[in-house]
Structure 1
Amino acid sequence: MRFAPPSAMRVVDRGGGLNQTSVRTYNERLVMSLLRRHGHLSRMEIGQHSGLSAQTVSVIVRSLERDVLVQAGEAQRGRVGPPSIPMSLNPEGAFAIGIKIGRRSIDAVLMDFVGGVRTQTHHNYPEPDPDTVFSLIQEDIEAIRAGMETDQRERLVGIGISLPDDVEIWSNLSSDENWTDINVEDRVARFSELPVYLQNDVTAAAGAELLFGAARELNDFAYFYIGYRSASRLVLNHHVYAGRKGRAASAAEQLASIADLEVSVVAAGLDAEPLSASPGSWPDYGEALDKWIEATASELSSSIMSMLTFVDVDRVIIDGRMPATIRNRLAETVGRKAAAAGLQKDNAPSVAPALTGPFSKALGAASLPFHSRFMVEQVGLTAD
């Protein structure tokens, strides 16, 4: 089955400062991919899932343990024969920086090898002026690295960047520099010796939910992201489809967005700044928010019903740059409206909120170096 999100659209790798964990053999990548998918597996289970011999599994596991990429759990007793020792990825095995560049803000995270967020920053700006944006990125990268222990810095394997495809519209704002002429990965690569990976922001967010969120155990799901620019992605056979040009057709781009909510909030005489400045905590917007949730849920429900005429999925994931309580309300309302519209058959997908939170685009960006350095595309009986 397909395991990971699509590879980064573009990569800049200057090749300096990378340690021995940068490049792994295919079979080592296969073992780590299985552990990421299943959480923990015994050596015997790794062999069953991968088709590798017991001796090969033992050699690989010892090598990965030596490089601190995997760790052994407590022995599981009570069965016939010797105790079973579960293996799992080591959170300290590798680290990556993820940065989301948006029209109104930047998010930066330091992620460990199992998706844990060690550091998280957020900056707002009125316009995406390139000098401001790259200055903030440099500050964040330097601050994140300064806050790491020496051995952790040695295991920092890359920087992932996520941003929208339509940056050309930013060029008509306040800056004299045209975003379409900027090589983002080259600019970021100036700030460190680490390789830089670039991906579409919604594709990256869907990948974060696939690897670390509510869809981790799913093979097929539809992903809807509601932000200032709403979009959707389709995940089939555990693979995010990003389309021929790295960006899937997004029916959700015509849906209600947080920009629509902002208009209603301002019209009601309320402060709209927290919508972008505080994605994890909004004030009570009362009727303006209630109406927006109902309208957005109605449009999402219609999109879901249309989608199901040509593709089957296990679940519909609702995500967005909003507090968890609002995301949960939106998902519940979508599910209710979809059921009322006829989504009641036994094999119909469930509707659930995403778990990665409002920083999912940065988390997805941080996963790009891990995918490139340590994972395989196909997980199953595909050992070399």
Structure 2
Amino acid sequence: MRKLTVAEQEKIKLLTKNQVSLTLIEPTETGLKKSIMDATGSVRSYLKSENIHDYELQNQGTKSKIIIQTIIHTGFKIIKSKASLYRPSTKNGDPRIWFYNLKKIADPNDIIAIAYFDDRFQIFNLTKLDVRSLIYSSIQNPFQDLINAINTTENEVAFELLAMLRKIANAGPIPSMVNADTSVGRTLETALGIEINSSKNPDYKGIELKSFRNNRTNRKNLFAQVPDWKLSKFKSSAEILDNFGYQRDEDFKLYCTVSAITRNSQGLSLRIDGEIKQLIENSEKQEVGDFVVWKLDKLHHRLKSKHKETFWVEAESTRINDREHFQYKLVEHTKKPIASQFDLLIEQGIITLDHLIKRNSRGRVVEKGPLFKIKPMGIELLFPPSESYSLI
């Protein structure tokens, strides 16, 4: 696809601000004449991630063609259309996509935006459509209605959760469920009626909840992810513990933070190898060297799936009758992390890794991580501009 103009980029920024998830395609002169377009990698990825269509599961030939209802937006009017998604019988069956009536709105090398809402494609000519004027028009129009509907749908769950949090906050400080660092999160989730579990999925209807005490120096948990054992020199958390652990009371443990900018007291550090797209943990012991790795693509996927939408809930901690209580006070609402920033923040030591491994007196090895954590200053570097809400 050609390089976007400044005007096209500004339109995308405005659409992103209004919660519109989309992909782009550029019809060529030949494609318009033959009514055919290649479903490019970005288009295929969008369709798959939004659970619209997976070309990898589609057979070749016209019998396997998929038809999806489509609305073409021209401004103050719409054109009802259809999209065909198929893989031809010839050659390798390279994925194809076509929108009927596209020729009415597109010239060769225009950029066409593809969104999906209300069980149908919503497409428009990004190059030619005056997106800003239509969204903010004093005259109601179909494109404005679409953006408002998407905004309402995208924010519906967030406003529902925000109302629940405000109700909890207005009830005053809540006694901690347990005496532990994790109690600030467990207490809030219990108050919300969320079952405590080890699921990797977001906590509340697609929104991840991350609670923390209002100490601005505290790092915040992003997600837990074990190494790729198949690619690693060490094949288990027990092996990491055996090489770098220490005795503490009845437990043999390894509780430490690992960074890319310095070695810790165990001689461990991180580094990113951009050529092979891996995050590597290294020991200063020559006989050990590089001992575990993570695929960067896997870490990016975990980040995007875990934090597609997140409420970072700040709590004030007080002690009442010798028991910790939490007054939940503020929410920072983030969406759609910038995966490419993850690597940079690791290299800058803003995102770090915590090992939480121990072998108890019964000989059982327990691993609560590895946990990827981010310093508070990194939130605004990893996510687009956020919204903040006071709870009291």
TM-score (norm 2): 0.23
Report which of the two has the higher share of strand: 2
TM-score (norm 1): 0.23
Higher relative contact order (CA 8 A, sep 6+): 1
Larger Rg: 2
Report which of the two has the higher share of helix: 1
